[in-house]
Structure 1
Amino acid sequence: MAHVADVLISGAGPTGLVHALWLTRQGVSVRVIDKLDKPVKASRAMAVQARTLELYRQIGLADAVAATGHPIPTMNLWVKGQRRARLPFAEAGADVTPYPFILSYPQDEHERLLIEKLQSMGVEVERQTELVSFEAKPDHVLSRLKKADGPEEVFKSAYLCACDGAKSTIRHQLGTDFEGGTYKQVFYVADVKLSGLEPAGEAHIALDNADFVAVLSYGRSGLSRLIGVVSDADPDTLGFEDVSHRAIDGLGVKIEQVNWFSTYRVHHRVTDNFRHGRVFLLGDAAHIHSPVGGQGMNTGIADAINLAWKLTAVLKGQADDALLETYNQERRAFANTLVETTDRVFTFVTAESNFADFVRTRIAPVVAGLAYLVEGVREMMFRIVSQTTLNYQESALSAGTAGKIEGGDRLPWVEVGGVDNFGPLSHIEWQAHVYGTASPGLKAWGQRRGIPVHEFEWHDKHGQAGLARDAVYLLRPDTYVALAEPHASVEALDQYLQSRALVTKYFVQ
């Protein structure tokens, strides 16, 4: 029994892999295990949202992921064979993010890229290695591991992170609640080759009474992913020929080949606490919900990044243990909101009644089409789907308001002359931004505290994005605003640090 890693990560899906990447980049030793012998090929997750790509810039992955996947610039809404609305994401998100699209990127390909990146950093995923049980001690965790071809092993780590999915062994052993329910509908996922879909490279959602299907293009050779539902069916015996084709036929497409087909039941649940001492729940182990909006995998990735910088700070003695409590506070609040939102949307889409059909197929498309003609509504819809509205305003780490930006907000993206303000965020560290002029006193404060102060020449675009001229924005390592200070007061910055024993050890005194 040897303490060879600071963090043991159980589960090598996107959540676990991203968690390992962010920890490793920050100098934390990790061990990643997974009970499967290889990544799952018939994967369900396809959508990579803009906020995920923004965060991928921190480890140099964004361009590779965007280049490998297929950017979907537009969503089309069809009702009973008629296209009723067209939602151009590229236009709506042009001033929001460098990635104004939904990226279609199959999870198996996504995982392969993450694994290659992790290998380049010297970390291998240990396959066919299962966590059988664990025992949490005051200052470490003992985990009993079983390899398929070897004896059991007892492994010691400072922390244990459960990224082991909806049926999490770790969550079950903790005995934590997983409140929620199960939809009566069975979801199906199919990878198909089709023809006749126009425009071919865009996303399409088709509604027909209580039937619906979403189509995401792979961007090559007519390959697409279909996601739909079947009511009151046995997922074990269901085949593609058994699903309703009303919505599919309404798109006017021909299914030429079904490469694979899978069914599953979907739950909507959130665990009661994401932290249990030295054990943490992330991704599907902590929350599961309807796939509406393509939010699930992206939410797990956000869990992983949120926790990674906090674990790093505590492990390096740069922050008190209390900092880890903010992981549960911040991420559980978002998970609850997401589950409620996706549940309402899914219930609306699949409700079975004449009135529900009338609202869904007659009223909603008209409202959506008209609303999207308004620029502000278009942008807000894109922000919600892309997760760029996610904020931690209620967090214990958030304070202040400068311009329209509050502590806990995502820093607005602004590009001027081909250069954007997200460049410095590639460093996983605390930093300060000033849009305008940073005073000598503020620069000296940054040097004294060991916090880089980045100064951007003021431009009208900064004001349009909600930033205040000459204010200071103190940014967390995960790029969210910790403190928005309108007067760029050094005293206010020090007061922020001193009032939060959670973070004061991080800074050079």
Structure 2
Amino acid sequence: MIPQILIVGAGPTGLVMAYNLARHNIPFRIIDRNEGPGQASRAMAILPRTLEFYQQFGFADEVIGLGIKMEDVYVRVKNKIKAKVHLGALGEGLSPFPFVLTFPQDDHERFLLKKLKNLGIEVEWKTELLSLCEHGEGIKTVLKAQQEESAYFKYICGCDGAHSTVRKQMNIEFKGEKYKQHFYVMDVHGFGEMMKNQKISVSFSNEEFLICMPVRSKGTYRMIGIIPSALANQNEVKAENIHAFVQRTFGAQIESVNWFSTYHIHHRVASRFRQGRIFLCGDAAHIHSPAGGQGMNTGIGDAINLSWKLAAVLQHKAAPSILDTYEEERLPFAELLVDTTDRAFKRMVARDKTSQFFRKHIFPPLLSFLFRFPSLRHKVFKILSQIRITYQNSDLSSGQGTNVQSGDRLPFVEGNFESLQSLNWQIHVYGKATEKLKKSMRKKDFSVHEFSWNPDMKKVGLQKSTLYVIRPDGYIGFISSEQRVDLLHQYLHTHKIIPFANES
């Protein structure tokens, strides 16, 4: 089959995009200028919403088996424990995955590459996008591997990172700025109080801070901090300087440094995520501080959102206008995320006396106090896990609910996420579906799932015997509390929605 989509970039965002397109039988090519997958752990956290997407793909349990569940966070001030927060079941009852997982990005990429290979898909490494331009009903590109070639595609997905060639070719503004601080990151082998029991350790000492967490089951720990003032003027900060500083200041006993890098952090959002037939996803569209481990997961969310819509349009299962909802849904969240992580991160890294006082004397007891209350723990989980992301203002969201609204992620109750593995449109009724609804949807090849009503459904905001139309990505598209079949038909007709054939 002739490739219809070009994916530029084979990081987690591009690989998830590729996997979902392949599951929907869409022909594409995926290229990357690098020689192969990454060699360093970089992003580590896999959030519950991403694991829910991976459950739809059928491999969430495999990823969990390869990663490390984060059970506890310890906050230290001058090497004394000032707060301890248990994360083990932070989101119990809110998600089938009520925890945060660490799984290093290089291992993550290799895992996704293996899954693609099982589907007969290979990344074209050492292949670069030189130019692109819209041409009739598609896009003309010039690619270069050993030699240059011209190739045509109906759509291009720019998943090629913060220095995106696709974004630059489109002349899209990347608004934002660089943090003034200079950071270090290193993966180490070591021992000591902060490096045991699979916990996250956040340590403060005067103006300095250190985050330490396990990143591999073989005993490697990730350390992140700001380059200390005494070393800031050096032309090249070396691993041994930071090694000595960390041991002296935080009492970490480091045996060896496996990987070390220094870097500056930016927070930026592209002014547009779509231009004609060209789309931006992941770091090509938005970059922000590492606060909360949101970056890679947001890119994966972009890929999920866009890929099923492209598949639906290319297979004539939805109106082309649904592609407009990609930017409509994802850009506002990216802007909100950059703003919130920016404010949190500035508070964490600021070196003024007020911020130091807050970190050492206010933050630890406040954290301990807040986590005593289940409602506050759940609120924190919803924010960190990305299950709070909503598309209520999307053109694809229609109908009124009470607590749960169209555009929200489908709330989790025991047994209702299994059907989402179809990666298809479906109807959910929590209670009894009318015969009229079931008969009507059979004619349109929609699956109707009835769930016996129980009190847990009310607790998560679902309404008894209400009709919910669930999108392929697990979000609610349409709600009718009276199971109005006429309004349902109107919704499907407006967007020309037809379920995918049951081939995947």
Partner of 1:204: 201
* Change in CA separation of 1:444 and 1:248 when aligned onto 2, cut-off 3 Å: farther
Deviations 1:236-257 (A, max 9, x none): 7122333497776665431111
Preserved CA contact (<8 Å) 1:166 1:288: yes
Q: Secondary structure at the match of 2:265?
A: strand
Q: How does 1:62-461 map to 2 (within 5 A)?
A: 62-147=60-145, 150-197=146-193, 199-218=196-215, 220-230=217-227, 233=232, 237-243=236-242, 252-415=251-414, 420-461=415-456
Q: Secondary structure at the match of 2:6?
A: strand
Name whichever structure is richer in strand by fraction.
Answer: 1
Find out whether 1:483 has 2:478 as its counterpart.
yes
Deviation of 1:507 after TM superposition, in Å, equals 5.7
Q: Secondary structure at the match of 2:398?
A: coil
Equivalent residue letter for 2:472: P
Quick one: percent identity of the two aligned structures?
Answer: 42
* Change in CA separation of 1:236 and 1:301 when aligned onto 2, cut-off 3 Å: farther
Preserved CA contact (<8 Å) 1:404 1:467: yes
State which drifts further: 391-400 or 116-125: 391-400
Deviation of 1:176 after TM superposition, in Å, equals 0.7
Preserved CA contact (<8 Å) 1:73 1:100: no
Preserved CA contact (<8 Å) 2:396 2:477: yes
- Choose from 7, 10, 14 the match for 1:9: 7
Partner of 1:57: 55
Q: Secondary structure at the match of 1:185?
A: coil
* Change in CA separation of 1:135 and 1:236 when aligned onto 2, cut-off 3 Å: farther
RMSD: 1.9
Preserved CA contact (<8 Å) 1:146 1:152: yes
| d(CA) in 2 for partners of 1:409, 1:248 | 46
| d(CA) in 1 for partners of 2:481, 2:72 | 38
Equivalent residue letter for 2:50: T
| d(CA) in 2 for partners of 1:96, 1:227 | 30
Deviation of 1:219 after TM superposition, in Å, equals 5.2
Structure 1: runs of 5 or more not aligned: none
Q: Secondary structure at the match of 2:4?
A: strand
Q: TM-score, normalised by structure 2?
A: 0.94
State which drifts further: 227-236 or 406-415: 227-236
* Change in CA separation of 1:234 and 1:410 when aligned onto 2, cut-off 3 Å: farther
Deviation of 1:185 after TM superposition, in Å, equals 1.2
| d(CA) in 1 for partners of 2:302, 2:197 | 33
- Choose from 467, 483, 506 the match for 2:498: 506
Q: TM-score, normalised by structure 1?
A: 0.93
Preserved CA contact (<8 Å) 2:160 2:284: yes
Structure 2: runs of 5 or more not aligned: none
| d(CA) in 2 for partners of 1:393, 1:284 | 24
| d(CA) in 2 for partners of 1:397, 1:245 | 55
| d(CA) in 2 for partners of 1:179, 1:222 | 39
| d(CA) in 1 for partners of 2:421, 2:233 | 47
Deviations 1:431-470 (A, max 9, x none): 1111111111111122122211101111111111111111
Q: Secondary structure at the match of 2:491?
A: helix
| d(CA) in 2 for partners of 1:384, 1:246 | 34
| d(CA) in 2 for partners of 1:308, 1:160 | 11
- Choose from 30, 33, 43 the match for 1:32: 30
| d(CA) in 1 for partners of 2:263, 2:217 | 26
* Change in CA separation of 1:47 and 1:235 when aligned onto 2, cut-off 3 Å: farther
Deviation of 1:390 after TM superposition, in Å, equals 1.1
Preserved CA contact (<8 Å) 1:74 1:90: yes
- Choose from 493, 496, 505 the match for 2:488: 493
| d(CA) in 2 for partners of 1:427, 1:485 | 23
Preserved CA contact (<8 Å) 1:74 1:88: yes
Q: Secondary structure at the match of 1:395?
A: coil
Deviations 1:147-194 (A, max 9, x none): 1xx220001111111111100111111111000000111222211011
Preserved CA contact (<8 Å) 1:188 1:227: yes
Equivalent residue letter for 2:372: L
- Choose from 447, 455, 467 the match for 2:462: 467
Deviations 1:230-277 (A, max 9, x none): 267479712233349777666543111111101211110000000010
Equivalent residue letter for 2:447: P
| d(CA) in 1 for partners of 2:470, 2:249 | 48
Q: Secondary structure at the match of 1:97?
A: coil
| d(CA) in 1 for partners of 2:158, 2:336 | 22
| d(CA) in 2 for partners of 1:483, 1:32 | 34
Deviations 1:471-495 (A, max 9, x none): 1111111100111222222123223
